[in-house]
Structure 1
């Protein structure tokens, strides 16, 4: 969603548009101000939907699912690794013992990429000795469980980083839209209004009053429109 400060500035811009719409005769011959009004309406049409859409954080449900997938992968890999270690011990295969010397805790604390690499290594070793491991309870069903858990976790291990990247990009895009709105109001509207302070003071005061942003409590720091335009 928009920050409170951005929402305040959007409301102020809407008030300006309403003030301009109330008295179009005051600037009927002013081509520049008429164009500014059209551009302002277009900007507002782009920004209003952001009140409903905005920037959303990852939901707790998505985080929980990611954690569950990690747990499933660590459980399946640790169980197969345990049986693989027993087999390696019986065969006095030191290298295979080292490859399988992992438990749930040691797997769970690994970074996502390291976890997937190690789980794949355990799976590869188990598949290499698949026939012999049947005597140790490593069935095709258990190996398939490990494959499925690995595929599921691998498909989502980059989700948090992707969500952060997408969220940051969305915030930057919204900030840029408000910067463009601020440029329209500060650099163009305020300058075009100067002459109306004498030519049409009532109209000038109405638009000037609409330009004031009242910050509601709970606002966040954000970019937007200047709060109090100064007559120039």
Structure 2
């Protein structure tokens, strides 16, 4: 969502807080009271749409981080024995694929990291390697926690990227909701003008809450009550 849109949302929150706190005074105008309720309902929808997208992405990112941490902790338990096996078998290709340090593994980007771990597990499943691993107590079933962690990592990674893309797409929907919200605010502007006669102090307070707080980025003129 563009910065000026975010600023609009902050301003709408200010207005909703104001009309909520001054509900009894605003009730002097039935029209303003009803419009304030409509505004609060629409604002709740926009806030929910924004918050759920952020929470969903954060949860998936945490899942990916947890899976990667597990892999980094468990992988040395397989890499060490595989290095010894590669040396005994004179398998230089295997040796090259299992001599990555923890530091090197941590620096790999997600897709590359997942591919390396998959390659190591594939090597561990080779017919010539399985018996050698067995001699070191590493049976295929013993490696299941590594496979599970890799599966969790691979599931979380594309899901995170997909959700970020969904947030971009949903950004348009979120901005549509915000446009509707701004429409509700402008209608309330008209209703609140009656308080220039009914309660001037209340009206001035509303006008203050209605000010757009610009925190930077692209600006856009926003209608304010006159």
**TM-score interval, normalised by the smaller of the two chains:** 0.5 to 0.7
CA distance, structure 2, for counterparts of residue 114 and residue 7 of structure 1: 43
Q: Could you say which residue in structure 2 is the equivalent of 1:84?
A: 82
Per the alignment, do residues 15 and 175 of structure 1 end up closer, same or farther by CA in structure 2, a change over 3 Å counting? farther
Structure number, greater radius of gyration: 1
- Structure-1 residue corresponding to 2:115: 117
Instruction: Tell me how far 1:122 sits from its aligned partner.
Output: 0.4
The answer to whether the aligner puts 1:140 opposite 2:143 as a matched pair is: no
Distance (Å, rounded) in 2 between the aligned partners of 1:170 and 1:213: 31
1:98 deviates by: 1.2
Distance 2:108 2:133 in 1: 26
Residue segments in structure 1 that go unaligned for 5+ positions in a row: 25-33
Runs of at least 5 residues in structure 2 that lack an aligned partner in the other structure: 1-6
Residue 124 of structure 2 is aligned to residue 126 of structure 1: yes
In the TM superposition, residue 48 of structure 1 has moved relative to its aligned partner by: 3.9
1:53-72 residue pairs with structure 2 within 5 A? 55=51, 66-72=64-70
Taking structure 1 as the reference length, the TM-score comes to 0.64
**DSSP-derived class of the 1:102 partner:** coil
Q: Deviations over 1:174-215 (max 9, x none)?
A: 5543432333443x5656888x7xxx9725958854641338
Return the structure number with greater helix share: 2
CA RMSD of aligned residues (A): 4.7
8 Å CA contact 1:5–1:220 kept in 2: the answer is no
Does the 8 Å CA contact 1:116/1:150 hold for their aligned counterparts?
A: yes
- Among residues 182, 207, 213, which one is paired with 2:208 in the alignment? 213
